[in-house]
Amino acid sequence: MFDDGEERLVKRITIWGFLVLLGLAAVWIGGPFYTLHQLRTAVETQDAAYLDNQVDFPLLRDNIKLQLNARAAQATPPRWRDSPLGGLALGLTNQLVDRLVESLVTPSGLLSLLEERTLQPESPSADPEADGTLSEAEREIRFREARFRFEGLSRLRVEATTEQGEPIRVVLSRQHLKWRLTNLILPEWPDSLLDSAQGGGDV
Protein backbone atom coordinates (compact mmCIF):
# COMPACT_ATOMS: atom_id res chain seq x y z
CA MET A 1 0.00 0.00 0.00
CA PHE A 2 1.10 3.57 -0.67
CA ASP A 3 1.38 6.13 2.08
CA ASP A 4 -0.24 9.55 1.58
CA GLY A 5 2.85 11.10 -0.02
CA GLU A 6 3.36 8.26 -2.48
CA GLU A 7 -0.33 8.23 -3.35
CA ARG A 8 -0.28 11.94 -4.16
CA LEU A 9 2.82 11.42 -6.31
CA VAL A 10 1.15 8.60 -8.24
CA LYS A 11 -1.92 10.78 -8.81
CA ARG A 12 0.25 13.64 -10.11
CA ILE A 13 2.11 11.32 -12.48
CA THR A 14 -1.18 9.88 -13.71
CA ILE A 15 -2.67 13.33 -14.30
CA TRP A 16 0.43 14.62 -16.09
CA GLY A 17 0.59 11.47 -18.19
CA PHE A 18 -3.04 11.94 -19.19
CA LEU A 19 -2.41 15.60 -20.08
CA VAL A 20 0.60 14.66 -22.22
CA LEU A 21 -1.43 12.04 -24.08
CA LEU A 22 -4.25 14.55 -24.53
CA GLY A 23 -1.79 17.10 -25.93
CA LEU A 24 -0.32 14.58 -28.36
CA ALA A 25 -3.82 13.61 -29.51
CA ALA A 26 -4.64 17.28 -30.07
CA VAL A 27 -1.49 17.74 -32.16
CA TRP A 28 -2.25 14.64 -34.23
CA ILE A 29 -5.95 15.31 -34.82
CA GLY A 30 -6.14 19.09 -34.66
CA GLY A 31 -2.69 19.97 -36.00
CA PRO A 32 -3.32 19.38 -39.72
CA PHE A 33 -6.66 21.20 -39.64
CA TYR A 34 -5.00 24.17 -37.96
CA THR A 35 -2.39 24.17 -40.74
CA LEU A 36 -5.17 24.09 -43.35
CA HIS A 37 -6.74 27.10 -41.64
CA GLN A 38 -3.38 28.90 -41.72
CA LEU A 39 -2.97 28.10 -45.43
CA ARG A 40 -6.43 29.45 -46.14
CA THR A 41 -5.68 32.62 -44.18
CA ALA A 42 -2.41 33.13 -46.08
CA VAL A 43 -4.19 32.92 -49.44
CA GLU A 44 -7.07 35.16 -48.40
CA THR A 45 -4.69 37.82 -47.04
CA GLN A 46 -2.12 37.44 -49.86
CA ASP A 47 0.64 36.82 -47.34
CA ALA A 48 3.43 34.82 -49.02
CA ALA A 49 5.67 34.95 -45.94
CA TYR A 50 2.88 33.49 -43.81
CA LEU A 51 2.31 30.79 -46.43
CA ASP A 52 6.02 29.94 -46.32
CA ASN A 53 5.69 28.91 -42.67
CA GLN A 54 3.00 26.33 -43.50
CA VAL A 55 4.77 24.64 -46.43
CA ASP A 56 7.88 22.45 -46.61
CA PHE A 57 9.01 23.89 -49.94
CA PRO A 58 12.09 21.68 -50.50
CA LEU A 59 9.98 18.54 -50.04
CA LEU A 60 7.09 20.02 -52.05
CA ARG A 61 9.44 20.75 -54.97
CA ASP A 62 10.85 17.22 -54.85
CA ASN A 63 7.36 15.70 -54.88
CA ILE A 64 6.21 17.86 -57.78
CA LYS A 65 9.36 16.99 -59.75
CA LEU A 66 8.58 13.30 -59.25
CA GLN A 67 5.03 13.84 -60.53
CA LEU A 68 6.05 15.76 -63.63
CA ASN A 69 8.99 13.54 -64.52
CA ALA A 70 6.76 10.47 -64.18
CA ARG A 71 4.16 12.06 -66.47
CA ALA A 72 6.85 12.92 -69.00
CA ALA A 73 8.06 9.31 -68.98
CA GLN A 74 4.52 8.00 -69.41
CA ALA A 75 3.94 10.35 -72.35
CA THR A 76 7.04 9.05 -74.15
CA PRO A 77 6.18 6.37 -76.75
CA PRO A 78 7.44 2.94 -75.60
CA ARG A 79 9.65 2.49 -78.68
CA TRP A 80 11.42 5.76 -77.82
CA ARG A 81 12.09 5.06 -74.16
CA ASP A 82 14.87 2.53 -74.72
CA SER A 83 16.49 4.34 -77.64
CA PRO A 84 19.53 6.62 -77.13
CA LEU A 85 17.69 9.57 -78.67
CA GLY A 86 14.62 8.99 -76.52
CA GLY A 87 16.74 8.71 -73.39
CA LEU A 88 18.49 11.97 -74.25
CA ALA A 89 15.19 13.75 -74.87
CA LEU A 90 13.74 12.46 -71.61
CA GLY A 91 16.86 13.53 -69.72
CA LEU A 92 16.62 17.05 -71.15
CA THR A 93 12.92 17.15 -70.26
CA ASN A 94 13.70 16.17 -66.67
CA GLN A 95 16.30 18.93 -66.44
CA LEU A 96 13.79 21.46 -67.78
CA VAL A 97 11.17 20.28 -65.29
CA ASP A 98 13.65 20.59 -62.42
CA ARG A 99 14.56 24.17 -63.38
CA LEU A 100 10.92 25.19 -63.83
CA VAL A 101 9.89 23.73 -60.48
CA GLU A 102 12.79 25.40 -58.67
CA SER A 103 11.82 28.71 -60.28
CA LEU A 104 8.05 28.56 -59.87
CA VAL A 105 7.33 26.57 -56.72
CA THR A 106 8.09 29.39 -54.30
CA PRO A 107 5.96 31.15 -51.68
CA SER A 108 4.86 33.84 -54.14
CA GLY A 109 4.40 31.37 -57.01
CA LEU A 110 2.34 28.95 -54.93
CA LEU A 111 0.30 31.83 -53.53
CA SER A 112 -0.54 33.02 -57.06
CA LEU A 113 -1.55 29.53 -58.15
CA LEU A 114 -3.79 28.96 -55.13
CA GLU A 115 -5.36 32.39 -55.58
CA GLU A 116 -6.11 31.60 -59.22
CA ARG A 117 -7.80 28.31 -58.35
CA THR A 118 -9.75 29.40 -55.27
CA LEU A 119 -10.48 33.14 -55.39
CA GLN A 120 -11.61 33.92 -58.93
CA PRO A 121 -15.20 35.24 -58.97
CA GLU A 122 -17.69 33.02 -60.79
CA SER A 123 -18.94 35.94 -62.88
CA PRO A 124 -17.35 39.25 -63.92
CA SER A 125 -18.20 42.33 -61.92
CA ALA A 126 -21.18 44.31 -63.12
CA ASP A 127 -19.38 47.55 -62.24
CA PRO A 128 -17.67 48.90 -65.39
CA GLU A 129 -15.35 50.95 -63.17
CA ALA A 130 -14.14 47.89 -61.25
CA ASP A 131 -10.36 47.45 -61.38
CA GLY A 132 -10.43 43.67 -60.99
CA THR A 133 -9.53 43.75 -57.29
CA LEU A 134 -11.48 41.19 -55.30
CA SER A 135 -13.61 42.41 -52.43
CA GLU A 136 -13.23 41.01 -48.92
CA ALA A 137 -16.25 38.76 -49.48
CA GLU A 138 -14.82 37.49 -52.79
CA ARG A 139 -11.50 36.74 -51.10
CA GLU A 140 -13.16 34.26 -48.75
CA ILE A 141 -12.35 30.72 -49.88
CA ARG A 142 -15.35 28.41 -50.11
CA PHE A 143 -15.47 24.74 -50.99
CA ARG A 144 -18.35 22.71 -52.36
CA GLU A 145 -17.00 19.60 -50.71
CA ALA A 146 -13.90 18.38 -48.94
CA ARG A 147 -12.75 14.92 -47.91
CA PHE A 148 -10.03 14.12 -45.38
CA ARG A 149 -8.19 10.85 -44.95
CA PHE A 150 -5.43 10.07 -42.48
CA GLU A 151 -2.77 7.78 -43.95
CA GLY A 152 -0.96 6.68 -40.83
CA LEU A 153 -0.03 8.89 -37.90
CA SER A 154 1.92 11.50 -39.86
CA ARG A 155 0.08 12.05 -43.12
CA LEU A 156 -3.27 13.59 -44.09
CA ARG A 157 -4.66 13.62 -47.62
CA VAL A 158 -7.20 16.33 -48.48
CA GLU A 159 -9.36 16.31 -51.62
CA ALA A 160 -11.55 19.36 -52.16
CA THR A 161 -13.57 21.09 -54.86
CA THR A 162 -13.78 24.88 -54.90
CA GLU A 163 -16.89 26.93 -55.62
CA GLN A 164 -15.50 27.39 -59.15
CA GLY A 165 -15.40 23.61 -59.61
CA GLU A 166 -11.61 23.41 -59.39
CA PRO A 167 -10.28 20.19 -57.79
CA ILE A 168 -7.48 20.58 -55.27
CA ARG A 169 -5.61 17.66 -53.73
CA VAL A 170 -2.98 18.26 -51.08
CA VAL A 171 -0.99 16.18 -48.63
CA LEU A 172 0.01 17.39 -45.18
CA SER A 173 2.77 15.66 -43.24
CA ARG A 174 3.66 15.87 -39.57
CA GLN A 175 7.21 17.00 -38.88
CA HIS A 176 7.78 16.59 -35.15
CA LEU A 177 4.90 18.62 -33.65
CA LYS A 178 4.27 20.75 -36.74
CA TRP A 179 2.12 19.84 -39.74
CA ARG A 180 3.11 21.26 -43.15
CA LEU A 181 1.94 20.97 -46.72
CA THR A 182 4.33 18.60 -48.50
CA ASN A 183 2.58 17.68 -51.75
CA LEU A 184 0.13 19.32 -54.13
CA ILE A 185 -1.44 17.35 -56.97
CA LEU A 186 -3.24 19.39 -59.62
CA PRO A 187 -4.42 17.80 -62.88
CA GLU A 188 -3.42 20.79 -65.02
CA TRP A 189 -0.12 21.49 -63.24
CA PRO A 190 2.18 20.56 -66.15
CA ASP A 191 0.42 23.01 -68.51
CA SER A 192 0.43 25.68 -65.82
CA LEU A 193 4.16 25.29 -65.35
CA LEU A 194 4.91 25.55 -69.05
CA ASP A 195 2.56 28.49 -69.58
CA SER A 196 4.13 30.34 -66.64
CA ALA A 197 7.76 29.55 -67.43
CA GLN A 198 8.71 33.24 -67.44
CA GLY A 199 6.93 34.03 -64.17
CA GLY A 200 7.38 33.23 -60.52
CA GLY A 201 10.08 34.19 -58.11
CA ASP A 202 10.88 33.93 -54.46
CA VAL A 203 9.97 36.47 -51.84
**Mean pLDDT calculated for residue range 40-60:** 93
pLDDT bin (cut points 50, 70, 90) of residue 198 is very low
User: What Rg, from alpha-carbon coordinates, does the chain have?
Assistant: 23
Least confident of 12-16, 152-156, 188-192: 188-192
pLDDT bin (cut points 50, 70, 90) of residue 162 is confident
Res 3 pLDDT > 80: no
DSSP for 65-109 reads HHHHHHHHHHHS-HHHHTSHHHHHHHHHHHHHHHHHHHHHSSHHH
pLDDT bin (cut points 50, 70, 90) of residue 128 is very low
DSSP for 34-61 reads HHHHHHHHHHHTT-HHHHHTTB-HHHHH
For residues 177, 180, 183, 188, the Cα torsion angle rounded to the nearest 10 degrees is: 160
* Contact (CB, 8 A) for 54 and 39: yes
Each domain of the chain, given as residue ranges in start order, spans 4-117+138-195
> Treating both helix axes as pointing N-terminal to C-terminal, what angle do 107-118 and 4-44 enclose, rounded to 10 degrees?
70
Res 191 pLDDT > 80: no
Q: What pTM was computed for the model?
A: 0.70
Res 140 pLDDT > 80: no
Residue 151 identity: E
Identify the pLDDT of residue 102.
Answer: 93
Res 96 pLDDT > 60: yes
Identify the pLDDT of residue 186.
Answer: 60
**Mean pLDDT calculated for residue range 27-34:** 79
Q: What is the pLDDT of residues 58-70, one digit of tens each?
A: 999 999 998 888 8
CA 155 → CA 26, 31, 46, 203, distances in Å? 15, 11, 26, 28
Res 18 pLDDT > 70: no
Identify the pLDDT of residue 165.
Answer: 78
Residue 182 identity: T
Q: Name which of 65, 30, 48, 36 is nearest 181 in CA terms.
A: 36
CA 129 → CA 23, 119, 125, 126, 139, distances in Å? 52, 20, 9, 9, 19
